[in-house]
């Protein structure tokens, strides 16, 4: 769940981190109006992707007419595949220097990691590549947390701005914890000419798994761009990803589904979807298969089950029922192993007259050839 700048900045402000005054605008007129109140301003495209500046999505405006022109130019642009429908108009801030600050989930320490650099303005990969010496890391003990004193060594060297910078890091960490973030990044975080610390941008990625206790994040987050079939999958609680090949696939478990997809490509084919019915979703084989077959590109189908937790007899029953309901005119190839395999194989033979392949590779190969 990604929060765009305009959605994340009020969260920073609520945590006590200063942000520029600004207004979210959907038209050039609104932008001009906002600039009237704000004075010299910045007009910024609101899209859930980075590198907006390089794409021309951020422009300075000295007065309302310039803000109107900037908004006219930016609204309707496509940046990283996203069409800009809104701009954030913000007051300009007198910048003395630019910093970088972030808190994120760190697989190495299995806890939160604070990143800080006195070289801001570039993205983190650039900082790591060009100014690695400036990038400071602090693995935080999540049972203890981060306060002013523990953050202070990261910001030594900022002179009179150091105390406020340490407070900012502590506040950023508090926000990360409060909203179950996977990442909160301020880039640039600036020191103003009067030694204030202001967040000029903010990126926040919230943890999807925490949504049940963070309903606000779900409201503030940018909805994912989904195809119609993907949306239908979501409504059914199925993780369906639409792809552009002709070989439909249905497997259980994330690892096996990826492997089936890999085998399709390895054997010269192209998959038309990713869809796993792992976990409790294994009882959803019927709606899952209906979804796979609803993709008009599908010319053959491979069903690959390897039951552990998921019972192959239950899954095969779902497949057989979907097949008998929809009566698709495409060839289907099975490979079935693991929990419940005897019943599952017998069922597929009896109801569909099809004998599953012993090896997954053979089933995939047959489906790839049939789709040609």
Residues interacting with another protein, by CB under 8 A?
Answer: 105, 107, 110-112, 125, 141-143, 177, 180, 182, 207-210, 212-213, 239, 241, 243, 251-259, 261-266, 271, 274, 276, 278-279, 306-310, 337-339, 341, 359-361
- The residue (of 30 and 252) whose beta carbon lies closer to another protein is 252
- State in angstroms the smallest separation of the CB of 340 from another protein: 9
- State in angstroms the smallest separation of the CB of 358 from another protein: 9
- State in angstroms the smallest separation of the CB of 202 from another protein: 19
In sequence order, the β-bridge partners of residue 161 are: none
**Alpha-carbon separation of residue 308 from 19, 34, 220, 275, 280 (angstroms):** 51, 59, 38, 17, 12
- The residue (of 48 and 121) whose beta carbon lies closer to another protein is 48
**Sign of the Cα pseudo-torsion (262, 251, 294, 237, in order):** negative
Alpha-carbon 156 to chain mean position? 34
**Alpha-carbon separation of residue 325 from 285, 322, 328 (angstroms):** 13, 5, 9
End-to-end CA distance of the chain: 38
Phi, psi (degrees; rounded to nearest 5) at 9: -60, -40
3-state SS class at 282: helix
Alpha-carbon 139 to chain mean position? 24
- The residue (of 96 and 209) whose beta carbon lies closer to another protein is 209
Q: How far apart are CA 345 and CA 333, in angstroms?
A: 12
- State in angstroms the smallest separation of the CB of 15 from another protein: 16
**Sign of the Cα pseudo-torsion (42, 47, 48, 49, in order):** negative
- The residue (of 47 and 198) whose beta carbon lies closer to another protein is 47
- The residue (of 42 and 171) whose beta carbon lies closer to another protein is 171
How many angstroms separate the most distant Cα atoms in the chain? 80
Helices 162-178, 5-14: axis angle to 10 degrees equals: 110
- The residue (of 63 and 359) whose beta carbon lies closer to another protein is 359
- State in angstroms the smallest separation of the CB of 332 from another protein: 19
- State in angstroms the smallest separation of the CB of 294 from another protein: 19
- State in angstroms the smallest separation of the CB of 198 from another protein: 27
**Alpha-carbon separation of residue 180 from 21, 30, 175, 209, 218 (angstroms):** 26, 33, 8, 9, 12
- The residue (of 15 and 90) whose beta carbon lies closer to another protein is 15
């Amino acid at each position: 769940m990604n929060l765009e700048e305009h959605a994340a900045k009020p969260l920073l402000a609520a945590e006590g981190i200063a942000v520029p005054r600004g207004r979210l605008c959907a038209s050039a007129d609104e932008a001009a109006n906002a600039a009237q109140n704000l004075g010299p301003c910045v007009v910024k495209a609101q899209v859930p992707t980075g590198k907006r500046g390089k794409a021309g999505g951020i422009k300075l405006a000295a007065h309302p007419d310039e803000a109107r022109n900037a908004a006219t130019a930016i609204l309707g642009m496509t940046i990283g595949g996203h069409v800009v429908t809104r701009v954030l108009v913000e007051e300009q801030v007198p910048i003395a220097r630019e910093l970088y600050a972030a808190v994120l989930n760190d697989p190495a320490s299995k806890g939160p990691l604070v990143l800080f650099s006195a070289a801001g303005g570039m993205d983190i990969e650039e900082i790591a590549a060009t100014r690695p010496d400036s990038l400071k890391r602090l693995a935080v003990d999540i049972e203890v947390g981060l306060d002013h004193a523990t953050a202070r060594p990261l910001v030594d060297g900022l002179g009179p701005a150091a105390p406020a910078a340490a407070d900012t890091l502590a506040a950023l960490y508090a926000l990360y914890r409060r909203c179950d973030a996977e990442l909160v990044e301020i880039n640039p975080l600036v020191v103003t000419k009067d030694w204030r610390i202001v967040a000029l941008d903010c990126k926040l990625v919230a943890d999807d798994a925490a949504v049940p206790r963070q309903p606000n994040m779900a409201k503030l987050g940018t909805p994912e761009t989904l195809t119609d079939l993907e949306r239908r999958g979501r409504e059914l609680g199925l993780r369906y990803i639409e792809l552009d090949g002709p070989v439909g696939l249905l497997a259980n478990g994330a690892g096996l589904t990826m492997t089936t997809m890999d085998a399709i490509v390895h054997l010269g084919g192209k998959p038309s979807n990713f869809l796993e019915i792992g976990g409790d979703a294994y009882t959803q084989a019927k709606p899952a298969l209906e979804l796979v077959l609803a993709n008009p590109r599908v010319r053959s189908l491979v069903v690959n089950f390897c039951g552990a937790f998921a019972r192959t007899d239950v899954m095969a029953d779902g497949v057989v029922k979907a097949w008998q309901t929809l009566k698709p005119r495409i060839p289907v190839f099975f490979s079935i192993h693991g929990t419940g395999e005897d019943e599952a194989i017998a069922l597929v033979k009896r109801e569909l007259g099809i004998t599953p392949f012993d090896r997954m590779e053979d089933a995939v190969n047959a489906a790839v050839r049939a789709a040609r």
